């Protein structure tokens, strides 16, 4: 079966010639919806991280603000808003302000391209995958500028580490992503989801899919600076890394983008490798596929993303941090060659048509 | 406080219901501040084990209060827990750390050393006899070191203080910073003198009332 | 407002003015910048303006009669320009970084003087 | 090595060393100028092998107007101990450094300089260890005075 | 005379002018006094090249309280509680060191029960200290969860101490003439329960940290210290043993009941961070062995053989004795002039010596290695500064 | 109505942004701010590509220029900063020469722009999927294909990579520190 | 229309951050001056300048990344149309990738992949 | 090295740069060497798989705890105040052992005051005793400076003091941390019990506010300041005398030795 795909952008486009006011209201509503979604996701993720971390560690986590601490992150957010915003004397004030904007914009712009369900996607670009990789590169500029403009040695060290780390791992992430592009033959994210109707790429593409999935997950975790790759802000080494001099709301923008980037990574992983909102379909077993279709696609997407987020959190609360040279070795000497070989093996698979349920 | 909150009460309070609104906003602000006390990872000696480690660990779990987000940078921290002895050499650094925290900032002195020098009060040529000679302290938690529960009691005490403050009507009323900064060449004695001035001017606690409050304090705790 | 905008929709000339202005600014920067990195940045401006022009000509001037617009030669050339720009930056910056490591300056005016 | 043999062996190396009474470990009083040579021999002599400077500190005998420097040596492989005692003038306390023989002495001597004002000849990096560079006085001397210090009320 | 007195400023600026500014990318960074991985208020001035540590200049004194000076103004019993605050993670062993030198000098008698209790609580505290180190070590390497598991298990020993001693950290329990209290009636039961519990947790420690490939990659070959250099630099405790020198006072100069129990001394081979990690992990197992052997065989007897308020007088002379704390040899040098207060008391503290080795260990590594090395020598800063 | 007005509006917006930022790239005294401005110009150019209906080019522009070249420039600025160049004042003579050359070029090209060949042209139709079209053009080995340039680009990149490494490492190799990690 | 949203959200994110900062400035305390605005370096005064010099090694990673980034830009269209070209496309990209692998191997052998 | 060094010539102190290696380091028996069998078995491919397995092993541990909420060990302090039982010996607050009648047993022997290492106990006697010769006025205990060393409790011959587990004593002002432990000022229990008339007992007792210690301490500090000023004057006089004596002695000596030239001492 095929899903009725119509993104919000297209709907706005339909409205546009007729009545500019309807269209404007539609755009505004979209902005509101994305803001609400982002805020709620951010707050929920931070709360979930704290609770899950606590239970990994035999403790309870936030308990006293609201029922089982559910209002904890709201209190934190409000406090951060009411906290003083310090710009160090020797800092480059303009870039100091610009850095969180870039970091935040990089995250937000990726978010509008994510297909969360057949009709829940703000903009479905025909270069979707390329767009996501390109725009997420803004984040690294935010971190670099933030570290530089703070005029602090620890910040600068953290920024340099982060810069080198993120750009390095972007190479591997791109190679892993290309595997999926190869198999699905399109850059459009909705098209990639659509192409997984007969099975998810993670297992449909023989070993290539699972290797690409692993590489993408590792590289993605490194790109969003989470343990075991949290060298940019490794507390025990660089005090707070690139955001050492950031306080109040500006710090919270970094903080929020960090968590939402985790969501973006999980959503991208599930879109590319786990079929996005596509239910679990196995080939042409109509009965099984029919049963799976009962669960709405939005829920499928949420489930997969949640699972990925949980996995990333699990990594964080289990593993120690790598050393910076090991991190680089892992990327350039292990992941990159494997990724390259994997890409060409996949290309061979595509050319020979040798994968499960080939169309 | 900021531009709005400085001018807000004067504008709002004459309006019907304005006073209630100010109070409600005040409560919201205090609620968020008191429930989100991120400590600075700062500890000098024995108390640090109990204050930063044992309280954070699984048995006692500072996270229940939302205070497990220990920030290594003072810019992002709200709460400076002085856990351990402060000596002459450390005192200006402690002052700097305090100055570099973003406002509003709160200080807890835990353990005898931070309160008055404790075991090192006499015959020690370096120990500062009380962290409040360096920076304004909000809450004192006695013990040597205090057990983790005592620290939580101190945290509750601090939360109570924040909640009862009027952060809009009287912002900064809680206390005045002793000095805006630690200028070059300022000695310890200068700080101490200024601190004493502060104590004599407007930090005079009514002893009888405070004593009564202290005595009945445990009973009130249940309402937290 | 909308009428005004529709009336002044950009034509090829508008586009060309824009790109050549960008190019001129880049040229100015190349001639006035003392910092070698700054010179390189100005050069990037020029290259970028040229790359836009490739697409522009592809879109406006491709002989449609032969179905040429379907071919996107200009776009392909733009990608090549970007690749060349990247290669140029890689090598250029490497030179500057090496120069800096040896002479502690990336001032092009002083680099001349230091030549020996 | 047993204490009497040890003392005899060291006295063979340094004939003018005398035994310090009232000490629970074998302790020899040696002149300051012989310190480095003696320590080097004590460390390298295969029968003695005092390879570890366990600690070094000083005692301020205010009444006798001297500082007594104690070097506690231990032999890790042989398991015996020896203490060297050197006396210096309180007003001009200069002794040669043992840094070259025992690297740990660098810090121990800096501490002794910090606390007693003992000057170590040829020390590579003699500066205060615990106190600020501009500290006045040497706190562990018996006649140290400091307005900051509180006396315990009786 | 070549006595040249220097300052920190001269030390740092002298270095930077010595190396030409045109040929280097080196710079100085303050690590501490407030830094998460310096475990207190240690300040390390690092000379870095990129991320490579070229030199470490420790700057001490941020918690120097003059304990030795204070000791001269109190009697012997009053000095005991001050050493609690030196190496607070092995407060009992510190108490014991002072007690031992006073008892030895004043020729006070003890009995086997006292010694057995002292040995037991000290070994429990060694486990406790190593548990805390394990957790903090994990945190310094970026793994947060070990911290919680380590401190969770540490609380079990804290409970035992609270019951018997009445304190969690600063014990003041081992006194000249005995121990402050007899053990709590539940002590034996609790300790046995703890041992059973802890032995089931050790494999988890191993699965979480020891066997983890990242841990091993980060520790192997980092912060090496050869046996010869370790002795010459005065390294002590696990740091010395990790370098391959089996020097343990519990074996070489047994005190307490250590001569009556059977245990091994874990010894490393290369003296890298991994060896130090392994030595401490193994020491926990050995301490469990010691406690197991003693817990059922505590002799009967009194636990305080002198009147608590009695004045202790020590004959004039130089007295020294040392114990093996969780971090190495703590020696107390007591110079008495026959009065009831020490004329001079000096503590040879293990962390002082171990920190001195950091320059040798960390130079040439990266910042991450420095943090791992610093954590692997398990410093307690107040013990260095006293 | 609105649908046709929006691209026009966006064009002028982007033109204004890119010209302003371009000016600050060449005159900004803080070199890192200039790099950030350059990023703005390049991002605006990506917008221009979108207006020309070439989303793939816009993506590549952002990917390579903004995410790559600017990052490399920022890296290089961090590596080669000296206090003297924090404020980069061109001399008056250079300003005059530069201004004259730039203005001359602009006037010359303006003269050509208003030539008949460029006036009155309209947009030609586009293939539906520009990515696929570009891909076909790149891989096509026929006479209209770019297969050879495609391969030559890889050689170019290889050369740039090796050259960059050789050049940048030269001074570093001279003062190579002893290997610590085996 | 899709990209219209990109523009909108680009503006929106700037508005959100700057608006948030403005709001924060209105409601949060703001008392700059003194030690508060000094650089934080673990409580000590900074030694020397904070804008420290970095090793050239950092640049090498940027360089490698840029080259691989350009490569990715070429591989995207390749991946989309590979099916149409079959083995030819595979070989072309194989040669393309092999060139870069040679570069990677060179960097590897030269030690450019070692972190400084 | 300058020529006037006190050291013997260089060749006699030839210090080897590298220490000679000791023959054997193992000085004690029973040493075990650090080879870890399950890790040191290496092999290229096996190593990779073991590495990956080790990562999963760690995840199994943490995941296992997540899956078993019963392993949560957190005690929720303010909520569990009712049930929180501290061990009997826990030292959190010093308290007087009052007997059933509320009488104390302090005889003012001041042994605890002497034994306290940092003067956290300040005992004042009544200036006008009502019944017996020595009567307790206030027994001030400074919670702020107390080190909880327990010395006062064990030295007390009359079992007057005990430590109890009341740890909730945070305050906003540190002056509130000086407690007066006795509930009343007056004679010891044994004396009071001899008074048969309840009115007479009541007359001998005078209630004490638990927070009245601050004033006493303030007075003490003032007194201490005064004595310190006096002492300093005395000390300076003595020092001047000593310096004068030394100068005289130096003048008496024919060839005064020059002090060593030390740069920048102190």
Residues 94-153 of H with CB under 8 A from E: 111, 115, 117, 147-151
Q: Name the residue of chain D whose CA is nearest to E61's CA.
A: D130
Residue F173 has pLDDT above 80, yes or no: no
Residue A227 has pLDDT above 50, yes or no: yes
CA distance G109 to chain B (A): 39
Whether D94 has its CB under 8 Å from any CB of chain B: the answer is no
Q: Which residue has the higher pLDDT, H50 or E86?
A: E86
For H96, list phi and psi in degrees, rounded to 5: -85, 140
Q: Cβ A317–E145 below 8 Å, yes or no?
A: yes
Q: Of A139, A144, A325, which to mutate for an interface test with F (greatest number of F Cβ within 10 Å)?
A: A144
Residues 50-79 of G with CB under 8 A from C: 56, 59, 63, 66-67, 69-70, 73-74
Q: Where are the domains of chain E?
A: 2-59, 67-385
CA distance H46 to chain B (A): 36
What band does H2 get if pLDDT is binned at 50, 70 and 90? very low
Q: What total of structural domains would you count in chain A?
A: 1
CA distance E35 to chain B (A): 7
Residue with tokens 């293990």: E350
What band does B179 get if pLDDT is binned at 50, 70 and 90? very low
Q: How far apart are CA G80 and CA G77, in angstroms?
A: 5
In a domain? residue A358: no
Chain B residues whose CB is inside 8 A of the H74 CB are 58-61, 64
pTM for this predicted structure: 0.85
In a domain? residue C116: no
C-alpha distance from residue E359 to each of E45, E223, E374 (Å) = 11, 10, 10
Option in B45, B49, B56 nearest E63 (CB): B45
DSSP state for residue B63 in the 8-state scheme = G
C-alpha distance from residue D140 to each of A306, C22, D112 (Å) = 64, 74, 9
* Predicted local confidence at residue F3, as pLDDT: 61
Give the range among B57-66, B185-194, E338-347, H161-170 with minimum mean pLDDT. Answer: B185-194
Option in B61, B72, B78 nearest A239 (CB): B72
Give the range among A275-284, B138-147, E181-190 with minimum mean pLDDT. Answer: A275-284
* Predicted local confidence at residue A266, as pLDDT: 92
Q: Cβ F2–A20 below 8 Å, yes or no?
A: yes
Tens-place pLDDT, residues D60-87: 888 888 889 999 988 887 778 888 899 8
* Predicted local confidence at residue H265, as pLDDT: 39
Tens-place pLDDT, residues G63-84: 888 888 888 888 888 888 888 8
Q: Which residue has the higher pLDDT, E15 or G111?
A: G111
Q: How far apart are CA E238 and CA C99, in angstroms?
A: 49
Contact E69, D148 (CB under 8 A): no
Q: Cβ G34–B1 below 8 Å, yes or no?
A: no
CA distance E22 to chain H (A): 32
Q: Cβ E247–H27 below 8 Å, yes or no?
A: yes
* Predicted local confidence at residue H24, as pLDDT: 37
Tens-place pLDDT, residues E246-271: 888 888 888 888 888 888 888 888 88
Tens-place pLDDT, residues A114-140: 888 777 777 777 888 888 888 888 888
Residue F162 has pLDDT above 80, yes or no: yes
Chain A residues whose CB is inside 8 A of the E366 CB are 323-325
Q: Which residue range forms the structural domain that includes residue A308?
A: 8-352
* Predicted local confidence at residue H253, as pLDDT: 75
In a domain? residue A150: yes
Option in B89, B122, B124 nearest D132 (CB): B89
Q: How far apart are CA A2 and CA A278, in angstroms?
A: 10
Option in C79, C83, C90 nearest G63 (CB): C90
Residue with tokens 């072309």: G92
Give the range among B203-207, D7-11, E162-166 with minimum mean pLDDT. Answer: B203-207
Option in E73, E89, E155 nearest B59 (CB): E155
Tens-place pLDDT, residues B206-218: 333 443 443 333 3
Option in D37, D77, D117 nearest H13 (CB): D37
Cβ contacts from B onto E, under 8 A: 115
Closest listed residue to residue B149, CA positions, set A58, H87, H179: H87
Q: Where residue C70 sits, what CATH number does that domain have?
A: 1.10.287.3510
Closest listed residue to residue A255, CA positions, set A242, A268, A239: A242
Chain H residues whose CB is inside 8 A of the A53 CB are none
Q: Cβ E29–G41 below 8 Å, yes or no?
A: yes
Option in E36, E148, E366 nearest A58 (CB): E148
User: What value does the mean pLDDT of chain H take?
Assistant: 72
For B106, list phi and psi in degrees, rounded to 5: -125, 150
Q: Of A157, A163, A320, which to mutate for an interface test with E (greatest number of E Cβ within 10 Å)?
A: A320
Residue B177 has pLDDT above 60, yes or no: no
* Predicted local confidence at residue C63, as pLDDT: 59
User: What value does the mean pLDDT of chain B take?
Assistant: 72
Q: Structurally, what CATH architecture does the domain formed by E67-385 represent?
A: Orthogonal Bundle (1.10)
What band does A283 get if pLDDT is binned at 50, 70 and 90? low
Chain B residues whose CB is inside 8 A of the D150 CB are 121-124, 129
Residue B136 has pLDDT above 50, yes or no: yes
* Predicted local confidence at residue A112, as pLDDT: 83
What band does B7 get if pLDDT is binned at 50, 70 and 90? low
Q: Measured over all CA atoms, what is the biggest interatomic distance in chain C, rounded to whole angstroms?
A: 64
* Predicted local confidence at residue C109, as pLDDT: 66
Chain E residues whose CB is inside 8 A of the G61 CB are none
Q: How far apart are CA A184 and CA A202, in angstroms?
A: 12
Q: Name the residue of chain G whose CA is nearest to F68's CA.
A: G66
Cβ-count burial of A120 within 10 angstroms (0-12 exposed, 13-18 middle, 19+ buried)? middle
Q: Which residue has the higher pLDDT, B7 or D18?
A: D18
State the average pLDDT over residues A258-278: 87
Residue H34 has pLDDT above 60, yes or no: no
Residue A16 has pLDDT above 70, yes or no: no
Q: How far apart are CA A152 and CA G41, in angstroms?
A: 7
Q: How far apart are CA A349 and CA H61, in angstroms?
A: 38
In a domain? residue A357: no
Give the range among A8-12, A68-72, C30-34, G24-28 with minimum mean pLDDT. Answer: A8-12
State the average pLDDT over residues F65-71: 86
Phi and psi based region of residue B109 (left: phi greater than 0; alpha: psi -120 to 50; beta: remaining): beta
Residue H19 has pLDDT above 60, yes or no: no
Residue F61 has pLDDT above 60, yes or no: yes
The domains of chain H, with CATH numbers, are 93-212 (3.30.70.3270)
Residue E226 has pLDDT above 50, yes or no: yes
Number of residues that this document lists for chain D: 154
* Predicted local confidence at residue G48, as pLDDT: 65
Q: What contacts C17, CB < 8 A, 6 or more positions away?
A: F110, F113
Whether G1 has its CB under 8 Å from any CB of chain E: the answer is no
CA distance A348 to chain E (A): 34
Residue H28 has pLDDT above 60, yes or no: no
* Predicted local confidence at residue C64, as pLDDT: 55
State the average pLDDT over residues C93-115: 69
Option in E145, E214, E368 nearest A237 (CB): E368
Chain A residues whose CB is inside 8 A of the H72 CB are 55, 58-60
Q: Which residue range forms the structural domain that includes residue C78?
A: 10-107
* Predicted local confidence at residue F117, as pLDDT: 67
Residue H15 has pLDDT above 50, yes or no: no
Option in C83, C93, C94 nearest G70 (CB): C83
* CATH code, residues F8-86+126-171: 1.20.120.1200
Q: How far apart are CA B45 and CA E84, in angstroms?
A: 11
Q: Which residue has the higher pLDDT, H41 or C105?
A: C105
* Predicted local confidence at residue B212, as pLDDT: 40
Residue A359 has pLDDT above 60, yes or no: no
In a domain? residue A359: no
Q: Cβ E33–G43 below 8 Å, yes or no?
A: yes
Residue D154 has pLDDT above 70, yes or no: no
What band does H254 get if pLDDT is binned at 50, 70 and 90? low
Whether E207 has its CB under 8 Å from any CB of chain A: the answer is no
State the average pLDDT over residues D7-19: 81
Q: What contacts C36, CB < 8 A, 6 or more positions away?
A: C96, C99, C106, C107, C108, C111, F80
ipTM: 0.84
* Predicted local confidence at residue B207, as pLDDT: 37
Q: SS3 for A63-121, per residue?
A: CCCCHHHCCHHHHHHHHHHCCCCCCCCCCCHHHHHHHHHHHHHHHHHHHCCCCCECCEC
Residue A8 has pLDDT above 80, yes or no: no
Contact call for E and H: 3+ CB–CB distances under 8 Å: yes
State the average pLDDT over residues H136-154: 85
Counting as contact any 3 or more CB pairs under 8 A, the partners of F are A, C, E, G
What band does B94 get if pLDDT is binned at 50, 70 and 90? confident
* Predicted local confidence at residue A309, as pLDDT: 92
What band does F175 get if pLDDT is binned at 50, 70 and 90? very low
In a domain? residue C20: yes
Q: How far apart are CA B53 and CA E36, in angstroms?
A: 12
Q: Of B77, B96, B126, B134, which to mutate for an interface test with E (greatest number of E Cβ within 10 Å)?
A: B126
Q: Cβ C90–G66 below 8 Å, yes or no?
A: yes
């Amino acid at each position: 079966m095929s899903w009725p795909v119509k993104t919000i952008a297209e709907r706005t486009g339909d409205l546009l010639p007729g009545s500019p006011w309807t269209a404007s209201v539609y755009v505004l509503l979209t902005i509101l919806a994305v803001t609400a979604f982002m805020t709620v996701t951010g707050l929920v993720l931070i709360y979930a991280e704290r609770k899950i971390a606590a239970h990994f560690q035999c403790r309870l986590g936030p308990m006293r603000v609201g029922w089982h601490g559910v209002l904890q992150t709201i209190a934190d957010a409000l406090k951060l808003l009411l906290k003083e915003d310090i710009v160090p004397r020797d800092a480059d004030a303009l870039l100091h302000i610009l850095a969180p904007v870039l970091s935040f914009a990089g995250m937000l712009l990726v978010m509008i391209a994510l297909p969360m369900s057949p009709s829940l996607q703000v903009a479905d670009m025909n270069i979707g995958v390329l767009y996501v990789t390109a725009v997420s590169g803004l984040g690294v500029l935010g971190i670099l500028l933030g570290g530089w403009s703070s005029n602090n040695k620890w910040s600068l060290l953290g920024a340099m580490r982060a810069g080198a780390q993120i750009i390095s791992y972007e190479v591997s992430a791109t190679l892993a992503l290309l595997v999926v592009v190869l198999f699905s033959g399109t850059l459009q994210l909705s098209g990639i989801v659509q192409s997984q109707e007969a099975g998810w790429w993670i297992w449909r593409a023989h070993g290539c899919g699972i290797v690409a999935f692993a590489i993408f997950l590792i590289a993605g975790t490194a790109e969003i600076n989470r343990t075991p790759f949290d060298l940019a802000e490794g507390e025990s080494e660089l005090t707070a890394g690139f955001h050492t001099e950031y306080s109040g709301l500006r710090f919270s923008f970094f903080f929020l983008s960090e968590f939402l980037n985790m969501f973006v990574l999980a959503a991208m992983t599930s879109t590319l490798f786990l079929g996005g909102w596509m239910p679990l379909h196995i080939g042409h077993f109509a009965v099984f596929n029919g049963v799976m279709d009962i669960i709405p696609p939005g829920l499928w997407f949420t489930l997969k993303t949640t699972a990925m987020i949980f996995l990333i959190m699990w990594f964080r609360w289990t593993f120690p941090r790598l050393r910076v040279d090991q991190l680089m070795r892992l990327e350039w000497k292990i992941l990159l060659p494997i990724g390259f070989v994997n890409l060409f093996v996949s290309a061979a698979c595509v050319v020979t048509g040798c994968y499960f349920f080939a169309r | 406080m900021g531009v709005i909150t400085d001018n807000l009460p004067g504008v709002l309070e004459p309006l019907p219901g304005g006073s209630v609104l100010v109070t409600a906003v005040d409560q919201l602000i205090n609620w968020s501040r008191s429930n989100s006390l991120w400590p600075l990872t700062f500890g000098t000696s024995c108390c640090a084990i109990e204050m930063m480690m044992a309280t954070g660990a699984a048995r006692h779990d500072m996270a229940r209060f939302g205070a497990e987000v220990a920030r290594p940078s003072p810019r992002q921290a709200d709460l400076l827990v002085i856990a351990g002895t402060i000596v002459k050499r450390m005192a200006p650094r402690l002052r700097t750390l305090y100055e570099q925290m973003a406002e509003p900032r709160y200080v807890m002195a835990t353990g005898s050393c931070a309160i008055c020098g404790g075991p090192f009060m006499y015959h020690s040529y370096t120990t500062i006899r009380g962290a409040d000679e360096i920076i304004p302290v909000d809450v004192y938690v006695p013990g040597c070191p205090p057990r983790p529960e005592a620290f939580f009691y101190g945290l509750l005490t601090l939360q109570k203080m924040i909640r009862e403050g009027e952060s809009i009507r009287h912002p900064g009323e809680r206390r005045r910073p002793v000095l805006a900064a630690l200028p070059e060449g300022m000695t310890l004695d200068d700080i101490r003198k200024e601190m004493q001035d502060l104590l004599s001017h407007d930090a005079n606690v009514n002893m009888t009332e405070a004593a009564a409050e202290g005595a009945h304090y445990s009973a009130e705790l249940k309402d937290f | 407002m909308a009428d005004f905008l529709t009336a002044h929709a950009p034509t090829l000339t508008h586009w060309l003015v824009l790109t050549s202005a960008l190019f001129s600014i880049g040229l100015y920067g190349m001639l006035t910048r003392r910092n070698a990195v700054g010179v390189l940045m100005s050069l990037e401006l020029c290259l970028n303006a040229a790359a836009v022009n490739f697409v522009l000509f592809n879109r406006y001037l491709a002989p449609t009669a032969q179905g040429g617009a379907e071919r996107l030669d200009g776009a392909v050339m733009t990608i090549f320009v970007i690749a060349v720009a990247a290669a140029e930056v890689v090598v250029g910056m490497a030179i500057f970084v090496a120069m800096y490591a040896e002479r502690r300056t990336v001032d092009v005016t002083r680099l001349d003087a230091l030549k020996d | 090595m047993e204490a009497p043999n040890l003392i005899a062996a060291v006295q063979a190396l340094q004939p003018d060393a005398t035994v310090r009474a009232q000490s629970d470990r074998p302790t020899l009083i040696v002149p300051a100028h012989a310190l480095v040579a003696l320590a080097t021999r004590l460390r390298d002599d295969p029968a003695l092998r005092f390879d570890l400077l366990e600690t070094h500190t000083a005692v301020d005998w205010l009444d006798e107007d001297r500082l007594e420097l104690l070097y506690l040596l231990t032999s890790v492989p042989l398991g015996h101990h020896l203490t060297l005692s050197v006396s210096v003038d309180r007003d001009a306390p200069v002794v040669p450094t043992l840094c070259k023989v025992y690297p740990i002495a660098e810090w121990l001597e800096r501490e002794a300089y910090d606390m007693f004002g003992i000057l170590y000849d040829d020390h590579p990096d003699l500066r205060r260890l615990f106190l600020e560079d501009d500290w006045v006085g040497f706190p562990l001397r018996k006649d140290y005075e400091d307005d900051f210090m509180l006396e315990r009320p009786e | 005379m070549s006595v040249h007195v220097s300052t920190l400023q001269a030390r740092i600026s002298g270095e930077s002018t010595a190396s030409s500014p045109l040929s280097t990318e080196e710079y100085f960074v303050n690590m501490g006094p407030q830094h998460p991985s310096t475990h207190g208020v240690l300040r390390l001035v690092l000379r870095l090249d990129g991320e490579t540590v070229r030199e470490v200049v420790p700057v001490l004194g941020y918690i120097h309280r003059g304990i030795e000076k204070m000791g001269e103004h109190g009697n012997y019993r009053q000095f005991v509680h001050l050493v609690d605050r030196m190496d607070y993670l092995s407060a009992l062993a510190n108490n014991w060191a002072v007690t031992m030198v006073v008892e030895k000098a004043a020729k006070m008698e003890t009995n086997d029960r006292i010694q057995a209790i002292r040995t037991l609580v000290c070994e429990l505290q060694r486990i406790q200290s190593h548990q805390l180190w394990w957790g903090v070590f994990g945190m310094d390497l970026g793994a947060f969860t070990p911290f919680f598991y380590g401190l969770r298990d540490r609380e079990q020993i804290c409970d035992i101490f609270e019951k018997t001693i009445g304190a969690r950290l600063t014990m003041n329990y081992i006194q000249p003439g005995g121990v402050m209290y007899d053990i709590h009636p539940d002590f034996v039961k609790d300790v046995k329960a703890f041992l059973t519990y802890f032995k089931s947790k050790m494999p988890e420690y191993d699965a979480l940290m020891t066997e983890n490939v990242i841990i091993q990659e980060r520790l192997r070959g980092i912060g090496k210290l050869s046996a010869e250099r370790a002795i010459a630099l005065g390294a002590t405790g696990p740091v010395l043993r990790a370098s391959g020198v089996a020097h343990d006072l519990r074996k070489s100069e047994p005190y307490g009941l250590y001569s009556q129990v059977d245990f091994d001394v874990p010894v490393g081979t290369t003296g890298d961070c991994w060896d130090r990690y392994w030595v401490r992990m193994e020491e926990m197992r050995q301490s469990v062995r010691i406690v197991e052997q003693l817990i059922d065989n505590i002799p009967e007897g009194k636990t305080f053989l002198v009147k608590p308020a009695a004045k202790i007088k020590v004959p004039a002379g130089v007295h020294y004795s040392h114990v093996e704390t969780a971090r190495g040899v703590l020696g107390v040098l007591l110079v008495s002039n026959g009065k009831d207060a020490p004329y001079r008391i000096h503590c040879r503290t293990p962390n002082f010596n171990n920190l001195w080795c950091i320059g040798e260990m960390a130079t040439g590594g990266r910042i991450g290695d420095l943090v791992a090395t610093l954590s692997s020598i398990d410093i307690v800063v107040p013990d260095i500064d006293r | 109505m609105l649908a046709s007005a929006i691209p026009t509006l966006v064009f002028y917006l982007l033109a204004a942004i890119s010209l302003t930022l371009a000016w600050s790239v060449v005159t900004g005294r803080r070199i890192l701010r200039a790099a950030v401005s350059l990023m703005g110009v390049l991002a605006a150019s990506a917008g221009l590509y979108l207006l020309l209906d070439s989303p793939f080019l816009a993506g590549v522009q952002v990917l390579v220029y903004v995410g790559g070249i600017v990052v490399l420039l920022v890296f290089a600025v961090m590596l080669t900063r000296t206090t003297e160049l924090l404020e980069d004042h061109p001399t008056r003579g250079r300003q005059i020469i530069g201004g004259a050359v730039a203005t001359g070029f602009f006037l010359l090209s303006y003269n050509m722009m208003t030539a008949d060949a460029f006036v009155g042209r309209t947009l030609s139709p586009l293939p539906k999927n520009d990515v696929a079209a570009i891909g076909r053009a790149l891989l096509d080995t026929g006479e209209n294909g770019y297969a050879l340039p495609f391969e030559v680009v890889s050689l170019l990149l290889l050369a740039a990579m090796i050259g960059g490494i050789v050049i940048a490492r030269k001074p570093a190799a001279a003062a190579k520190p002893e290997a610590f990690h085996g | 229309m899709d990209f219209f949203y990109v523009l909108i959200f680009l503006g929106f994110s700037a508005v959100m951050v700057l608006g948030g900062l403005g709001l924060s400035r209105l409601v949060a305390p703001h008392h700059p001056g003194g030690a508060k605005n000094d650089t934080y370096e673990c409580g000590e005064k900074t030694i020397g300048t904070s804008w420290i010099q970095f090793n050239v090694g950092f640049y090498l990673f940027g360089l490698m990344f840029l080259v691989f980034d350009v490569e990715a830009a070429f591989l995207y269209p390749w991946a989309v149309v590979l099916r149409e070209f079959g083995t030819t496309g595979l070989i072309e990209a194989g040669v393309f990738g092999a060139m870069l692998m040679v570069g990677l191997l060179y960097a590897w052998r030269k030690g450019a992949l070692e972190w400084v | 090295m300058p020529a006037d060094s006190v050291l013997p010539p260089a060749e006699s102190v030839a210090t080897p740069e590298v220490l000679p290696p000791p023959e054997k380091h193992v000085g004690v028996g029973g040493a075990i060497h650090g080879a870890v069998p399950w890790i040191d078995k290496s092999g290229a491919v096996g190593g990779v798989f073991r590495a990956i397995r080790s990562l999963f092993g760690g995840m199994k541990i943490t995941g296992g705890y997540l899956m078993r909420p019963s392993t949560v060990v957190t005690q929720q302090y303010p909520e569990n105040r009712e049930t929180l039982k501290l061990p009997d010996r826990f030292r959190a607050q010093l308290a007087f052992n009052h007997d059933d009648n509320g009488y104390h047993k302090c005889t003012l022997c001041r042994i605890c005051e002497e034994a306290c290492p940092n003067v956290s106990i300040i005992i004042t006697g009544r200036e006008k005793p009502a019944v017996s010769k020595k009567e307790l006025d206030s027994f001030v205990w400074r919670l702020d400076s107390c080190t909880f060393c327990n010395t006062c409790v064990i030295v007390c011959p009359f079992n007057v003091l005990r430590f109890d587990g009341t740890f909730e004593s945070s305050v906003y002002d540190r002056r509130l941390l000086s407690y007066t432990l006795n509930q009343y000022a007056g004679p010891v229990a044994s004396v009071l019990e001899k008074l048969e008339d309840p009115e007479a007992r009541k007359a001998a007792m005078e209630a004490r506010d638990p927070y009245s210690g601050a004033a006493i301490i303030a007075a003490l500090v003032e007194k201490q300041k005064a004595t310190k000023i006096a002492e300093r004057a005395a000390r300076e006089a003595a020092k001047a005398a000593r310096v004068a004596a030394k100068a005289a002695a130096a003048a008496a000596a024919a060839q005064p030795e020059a002090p060593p030239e030390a740069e920048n001492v102190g």
